[in-house]
Amino acid sequence: MNELDVERALVEEWQAFVEAQRPDPDAAVSPPRSRLTRPLLWAELEDARQAFVELRASLDEPAKAEALATTRWTVKDVVGHVASWATELVRQIETIAAHREFDYVITFTPRVGPTEWNARELERRAAMSLDDRFRELDRATAHVQDLVLSLPDDVLFGETVLPQTPDGRPEHRWRARPADFIVNMCSHYRYHLDRLREVVR
pLDDT tops 70 at residue 21: no
pLDDT tops 90 at residue 35: no
Asked if 122 contacts 172 with a C-beta cutoff of 8 angstroms, the reply is no
Instruction: State pTM to two decimals.
Output: 0.84
| Residue type, position 112, single letter | V
* 54 CB-contact burial (10 Å; exposed 0-12 / middle 13-18 / buried 19+): exposed
Structural domains in the chain plus CATH codes: 3-20+38-200 (1.20.120.450)
Q: Give 151-177 as a DSSP string.
A: S-HHHHSS-EE-SEESSS-GGG--EE-
In tens, the pLDDT along 97-132 reads 999 999 999 999 887 789 999 999 999 999 999 999
In tens, the pLDDT along 59-103 reads 999 999 999 998 899 999 999 999 999 999 999 999 999 999 999
In tens, the pLDDT along 42-65 reads 999 999 999 999 999 999 999 999
Label residue 111 left, alpha or beta by phi (over 0 means left) and psi (-120 to 50 means alpha): left
Q: Which residues contact 8 (CB under 8 A, 6 or more apart)?
A: 111, 112, 113
**How many other C-beta atoms can be found within 10 angstroms of the C-beta atom of residue 29?**
7
